[in-house]
Structure 1
Amino acid sequence: MVERADSGATSTVKAAAPRWARCRTGRWEEYARGRRALTRDRVLAALAVLTAGLLAFHRAVPNSGVRLGSSLESFLPWLGLVVVVLFGLTLLRRSATALVALLLPVAAWTYLFGGMLLPGSEPGAHDLVVVQHNVSDENSDPTGTARALTEASPDLIALEELVPPALPVYERTLSPDYPYHAVQGTVALWSKHPLTDARSLNIKPRGITEVWNRGLRAVVHTPHGEIAAYVAHLPSVRIGASGLASAWRDESADLLGRAVAAEKLRTVVLLGDLNGTVDDRGLSPLTSRMNVAEHGFAFSFPAAFPLARIDQVMTRSATVGHIHTLPSTGSDHLPVAARITLG
């Protein structure tokens, strides 16, 4: 420290740090910045690897207790948004390490869902068109809903949550083009082709004690031969503080899977609100036995902002070439339509 007299006043002036000290300080700050940048790059790379692991090995996520595995699988395609965000951050950081790591989730997502983005078969290259819709027991416009479902000119229309007061409206509206129909409880099937052997399906979980009839099976006599058509509405799932409550849904899916396995007709078409996505292991009794849509995401619920497709079309000895949603009706679900190739 240096003291200097000036006009009778005394002032104190700090001496400048030596050049070697300034050099060492600058190098340390540069080193610290480099370490922080490297840490951020490693965090991005680690997040990319974690996302890839969740996509590729989602079945390894435990499903006991809070049903974490099913919760992840219900929204599995949306991990693609995580990949997009990580890609943006990688470009911002200009990190080669993170960019290389990001190739892993991109490859995993593309393998799982890339085919869903393809257009599928030509519109005329199919044998049947089917429509599946949970029409909602609170639907205030059943007439408009019925008319909307016919816009796709389907061969089969499957409905759930069909309450008794609305049944005459659907019968009256659909009968001119769909003269054959079967109703069991709150599920129904309308068809352009003759139906026989319509009967109820017992898919009721043991814990439900009230009247509950939400499954039917009928034989459809199509120009391409007989097929067994199943319509089902599996129990709802709830997401709360204790996780995903899906025990009844899973039990009902198992009963439905056993019924399909016992079906004697070779070709089966299953339509229904299954309250689960095809990636959800809770539906494995069905997805392990049946074919699911090869093209199209068709997120159907909730109608206001669709996040998942829980309205499904599955087949045995047939192919679901493409599935898509139809315009919104008075329901909290969107209708889905699918093209099916038999054989």
Structure 2
Amino acid sequence: MTQAQSSTDAAAGGDGTQERAEAGGRDRALDRALKRFVRWWRPTGMWRRGIVLAAVCALLTGVLFLHSDIPNRIGNLGSLLETFLPWLGVALPLLFVLAVLRRSTTALIALLLPTLVWLNLFGGLLTDKSSAGGDLTVLTHNVNADNPDPDGTAKDVIAAGADVVALEELAESQAPRYARDLAAAYPYHSVQGTVGLWSRYPISGVAPVDIRMGWTRAMRAAVSTPDGKVAVYVAHLPSVRVKFDAGFTAGQRDRAADALGRAISAEPLHSVVLLGDLNGTMNDRALASVTSQMRSTQGAAGNGMGFSWPAGMPMARIDQIMVKGAEPRSSWTLPRTGSDHLPVAARLQLPHD
């Protein structure tokens, strides 16, 4: 081996050592960076814990805040969500407990967002907004066609002391029994199809309301109160179902609600009261043709959520008393009868000429 060759090999060996050293340095730098990232991501600090909980809070906030933008195109998902929207609040205390157990400041701060949105939507229903006064008490009750004790239900209705009573889901075989039982307390009444109206005051202008059902499940009458005539609508909108293959089947109810809304908007009398089982809540956008022009007595003068169905464990307010041209003073649910719905009542202040 010549001296020149040795010099060449040494130079080559020196270059390889340097390259290996540089590669090893890069590997160590990458390893240090990876360890720093793992230490940052690992939930060891109070700000870093609870990232998943914070994400759940953000998702819940979005659902509450943007519920009206959730489309109905797929199984009426938006309407189904809005029917039980208040129940999303049940997640708030659960998330709070999990955030505390996780000792996560991040999750606790994130939880403020859905809490504030929920309170903005439903916080007003948690307080008692009833007030004194009122000159007309109204009551509505889906008595259930399979009610095993219609006579007892009629007695409960009379005991409530309402001036005007609306009953829905009147079976043909039971309607005469209700008429007989309520006659002494309510001398004026009319039954149209499966809905009926009983009143202490004279009624006139009685007529069925076409809500595109093919049979009568809604009616209108003018009640002559001491403070003037009031248009009273009684309605039982079609039932809705949740099916695995079809989702929230509410199309027939939605069409009926639109027809009812058009009838009410054409009402010539100033004071209008709607009593009935609408098979939907005030949050359900599908009822907008009605809810956009009338006020819910529960929202304006109630105490609590006022859930009315199912009677054994009420989860939704689908039995409604709504008004326009009258001022709600109080609104409440009554004890359970033989029906699967709770009766609901309200006291109204009518305008004085």
TM range (shorter): 0.7 to 0.9
| 2:255 is the counterpart of 1:246 | no
Separation of aligned partners in 2, 1:153 and 1:31: 67
Pairs within 5 Å for 1:37-116? 41-116=50-125
| 2:158 is the counterpart of 1:155 | no
Give TM-score, length-normalised by structure 1.
0.86
Aligned to 1:231: 234
- 8 A contact 1:303–1:334 mirrored in 2: yes
Aligned equivalent of 1:217, options 200, 216, 220? 220
Larger Rg, first or second structure (1 or 2): 2
- Give CA deviations for 1:116-146 in whole Å, capped at 9, x if unaligned: 1111223x42222211111011011111001
Q: Cα offset for 1:238?
A: 0.9
**What is the SS of the residue equivalent to 1:164?**
coil
Q: Cα offset for 1:95?
A: 1.6
Aligned equivalent of 2:277, options 273, 280, 283? 273
Q: Cα offset for 1:324?
A: 2.2
Aligned equivalent of 1:262, options 246, 261, 266? 266
One-letter code aligned to 2:106: T
> Structure 1's 32 and 57: CA in aligned 2 closer, same or farther, altered over 3 A?
closer
- Give CA deviations for 1:144-196 in whole Å, capped at 9, x if unaligned: 00111122211111101111221222122211111111110110011111111
Give TM-score, length-normalised by structure 2.
0.83
> Structure 1's 101 and 167: CA in aligned 2 closer, same or farther, altered over 3 A?
same
Aligned to 2:28: none
One-letter code aligned to 1:68: L
| 2:134 is the counterpart of 1:126 | yes
Separation of aligned partners in 1, 2:37 and 2:110: 29
Separation of aligned partners in 2, 1:182 and 1:96: 62
Separation of aligned partners in 2, 1:301 and 1:104: 30
Separation of aligned partners in 1, 2:211 and 2:198: 21
One-letter code aligned to 1:312: Q
- 8 A contact 2:47–2:105 mirrored in 1: no
- 8 A contact 2:46–2:106 mirrored in 1: no
**What is the SS of the residue equivalent to 1:92?**
helix
**What is the SS of the residue equivalent to 2:43?**
helix
Q: Cα offset for 1:320?
A: 3.2
Separation of aligned partners in 2, 1:180 and 1:316: 23
Separation of aligned partners in 1, 2:331 and 2:54: 35
Separation of aligned partners in 1, 2:237 and 2:261: 12
- 8 A contact 1:297–1:323 mirrored in 2: no
Aligned length: 313
Separation of aligned partners in 2, 1:104 and 1:66: 29
- 8 A contact 2:203–2:221 mirrored in 1: yes
Separation of aligned partners in 2, 1:61 and 1:256: 25
Give unmatched runs, 5+ long, in structure 1.
1-23
One-letter code aligned to 2:308: S
> Structure 1's 202 and 85: CA in aligned 2 closer, same or farther, altered over 3 A?
same
C-alpha RMSD of the superposition: 2.2
Aligned to 1:317: 325
Separation of aligned partners in 2, 1:87 and 1:151: 44
> Structure 1's 48 and 142: CA in aligned 2 closer, same or farther, altered over 3 A?
same
> Structure 1's 95 and 40: CA in aligned 2 closer, same or farther, altered over 3 A?
closer
Q: Cα offset for 1:32?
A: 7.2
One-letter code aligned to 2:229: E
One-letter code aligned to 2:227: H
Separation of aligned partners in 2, 1:51 and 1:29: 28
- 8 A contact 2:47–2:106 mirrored in 1: no
One-letter code aligned to 2:92: V
- 8 A contact 1:291–1:319 mirrored in 2: no
User: What percent of counterpart residues are identical?
Assistant: 51
Q: Cα offset for 1:302?
A: 1.2
Separation of aligned partners in 2, 1:254 and 1:46: 38
Q: Cα offset for 1:200?
A: 0.7
- Give CA deviations for 1:286-334 in whole Å, capped at 9, x if unaligned: 0011111323321111112211111111111123343322111111111
Q: Tell which deviates more after alignment, 309-318 or 40-49.
A: 40-49
Give unmatched runs, 5+ long, in structure 2.
1-31
